[in-house]
Structure 1
Amino acid sequence: MRITCIGGGPAGLYFAVLARLADPANRVTVLERNPPGVTYGWGVVFWDDLLDDLFRYDPVSARRIWEAAYQWDEYEVRAAGKPVTHLGGYGFSLGRHRLLDILAERARELGVEIHYEDEPTSVDALPPADLIVACDGAGSRIRDAASGHFGTQIETGSNRYLWLGTPHVFRTFTFGFERTDAGWIWFHAYPFTSTSSTFIVECTSATWEALNPSVGDLERIFARHLDGQPLDDGGRGWLNFRRVTNERWDAGNVVLMGDAAHTTHFAIGSGTKLAMQDAMALASSLSVSDGLPAALERYEHQRKAAMAPLQRAAYASSAWFERMPDYASLPAKQFSYALSNRRGDYPAWRYLLHMSTQGAVPRTMLRWTLSARRWNRARRRPLVLI
Structure 2
Amino acid sequence: MKITCVGAGPAGLYFAISAKLRDAGHDITVIERDPPGATYGWGVVYWDNLLDPLYANDAESAQQIRSASTLWQEQQIVLGGTDYGFLGGYGFSVNRATLLDVLAERATDLGVDVHYEQDVQSLDELADSDLIIGADGAGSKVRSLHEDEFGTRVETGSNPYIWLGTDKVFDRFTFAFERTSAGWIWFHAYPSSAGVSTCIVETTEQTWKALGFDERGDEDAVRLLEKIFEKPLEGHSLISSSRGEAARWQRFTQVLNRSWRYENVMLLGDAAHTTHFSIGSGTRLAIMDAMILAQKLHDHEHLDTALRDFDQQGRSALRPLQAAGRTSMAWFERADRYLDREAVDVAYAMAARGGAQSPWQYRMHQATQVPAVRKGMRWYDNGHRWYLACRRGEALGSRPEKSTSR
State the TM-score, normalizing by the size of structure 1. 0.97
Instruction: Report the equivalent of 1:273.
Output: 284
Change (3 A) 1:34 1:146: same
The question of whether the paired residues in 1 share the 8 Å contact of 2:69 and 2:93 is answered with yes
Residue aligning to 1:365: 376
**Is the Cα–Cα contact under 8 Å of residues 185 and 202 in structure 1 kept in the other structure?**
yes
Specify the code of the residue in structure 1 equivalent to 2:266: V
| Map 1:68-83 → 2, pairs under 5 A | 68-80=68-80, 83=83
Partner of 1:226: 233
Whole-angstrom distance in 1 between the partners of 2:282 and 2:143: 18
Q: Secondary structure at the match of 1:25?
A: coil
Across the two proteins, how many residue pairs are aligned to each other?
385
Give distance in 2, aligned partners of 1:127 and 1:195.
46
Contact between 1:314 and 1:343, CA under 8 Å: does it hold in 2? no
Can you list the C-alpha shifts for 1:211-238, whole angstroms capped at 9, x where unaligned? Answer: 1231111111011122222222231311
- SS at 1:84's partner residue? strand
Match of 1:343 in 2: 354
Partner of 1:296: 307
Please state whether the residue corresponding to 1:308 is helix, strand or coil: helix
Helix, strand or coil at the partner of 2:92: strand
Question: What does residue 243 of structure 1 align with?
Answer: 254
**C-alpha separation in 2, matches of 1:92 and 1:143:** 31
Provide the C-alpha distance between the structure 2 equivalents of 1:73 and 1:36, rounded to a whole number of angstroms. 32
Match of 1:133 in 2: 133
- Moved beyond 3 Å, runs of 4+: 345-350
* Contact 2:138 2:270 (8 Å CA) reproduced: yes
User: Is 1:93 the equivalent of 2:93?
Assistant: yes
Moved more, 310-319 or 284-293: 284-293
The answer as to whether partners of 2:190 and 2:197 remain within 8 angstroms in 1 is: yes
**Counterpart residue number, 1:327:** 338
Change (3 A) 1:58 1:345: farther
Q: Counterparts of 2:66 and 2:283 in 1: how far apart (Å)? A: 15
Compared with structure 1, are the counterparts of its residues 260 and 211 closer, same or farther at alpha carbon in structure 2 (3 Å cutoff)? Answer: same
Question: Hey, what's the Cα distance between the residues in 1 that align with 2:232 and 2:72?
Answer: 18
Query: What letter is aligned with 2:233?
Result: L
Q: 1-side partners of 2:321 and 2:232: how far apart? A: 30
Report the 3-state secondary structure (helix = DSSP H, G, I; strand = E; otherwise coil) of the residue aligned with 1:40: coil
Alignment partner, residue 197 of structure 1: 197
Q: Distance in 2 between matches of 1:165 and 1:236?
A: 10
* Structure 1 CA distance for aligned equivalents of residues 395 and 83 of structure 2: 45
Counterpart of 2:86, as a letter, is H
Determine the C-alpha separation between the residues in 2 that align with 1:113 and 1:81. 49
What is residue 59 of structure 1 aligned with on the other side? Answer: 59
* Partner in structure 2 of residue 44 of structure 1: 44
Shift of 1:345: 5.6
Q: Distance in 2 between matches of 1:384 and 1:128?
A: 42
What amino acid sits opposite 2:202 in the alignment?
A: E
SS at match of 1:33: coil
Deviations, residues 284-315 of structure 1 (Å, cap 9, x unaligned)? 11112341111111111221222222211111
> Quick one: percent identity of the two aligned structures?
50
Deviations 1:350-386 (A, max 9, x none): 322211011110110111111111111111103579x
Q: Equivalent residue for 1:352?
A: 363
Match of 1:123 in 2: 123
| 1:313 partnered with 2:351 | no
Provide the residue aligned with 1:253 in structure 2: 264
Q: Distance in 2 between matches of 1:216 and 1:185?
A: 15
1:160 aligns with 160
The SS at the match of 2:160 is: strand
Query: Does 1:171 pair with 2:166?
Result: no
Structure 2: which 5+ residue stretches go unaligned?
214-220, 397-406
Shift of 1:349: 4.0
SS in 2 for 1:236: coil
Q: Say which SS state the counterpart of residue 343 (structure 1) adopts.
A: coil
The answer as to whether partners of 1:168 and 1:229 remain within 8 angstroms in 2 is yes
1:4-23 → structure 2 map (5 Å cutoff): 4-23=4-23
The answer to whether residue 170 in structure 2 is matched with residue 187 in structure 1 is no
1:69-124 Cα deviation digits (max 9, x unpaired): 10011111101276211110000000001100110111111011100101112211
User: Cα deviations across residues 183-228 of structure 1 (Å, max 9, x unaligned)?
Assistant: 0000000001121110000001111111123111111101112222
Once the two structures are superposed, what CA deviation does each residue of 1:20-45 show, in whole Å capped at 9, x if it has no partner? Answer: 10101001110011111111110000
The residue matched to 1:169 in structure 2 has which SS?
A: coil
In structure 2, relative to structure 1, the CA distance for the partners of 1:45 and 1:383 (3 Å cut) is: closer
Is the contact between residue 59 and residue 384 of structure 1 (CA under 8 Å) also seen in structure 2?
no
Instruction: Please say if residues 11 and 258 of structure 1, whose CA atoms lie closer than 8 Å, have aligned partners that are also in contact.
Output: yes
- Check conservation: 2:31, 2:115, Cα contact below 8 A: yes
Given candidates 237, 262, 276, the residue that maps to 2:273 is: 262
Structure 1 residues 346, 308: closer, same or farther in 2, change over 3 A? farther
Q: Which runs of 5+ in 1 are unaligned?
A: none
Give distance in 1, aligned partners of 2:107 and 2:48. 23
Task: Compare 57-66 and 94-103 and name the one that shifted more.
Answer: 57-66
Q: For residue 223 of structure 2, what is the aligned residue in structure 1? A: 216
Contact 1:72 1:171 in 2 (8 A): yes
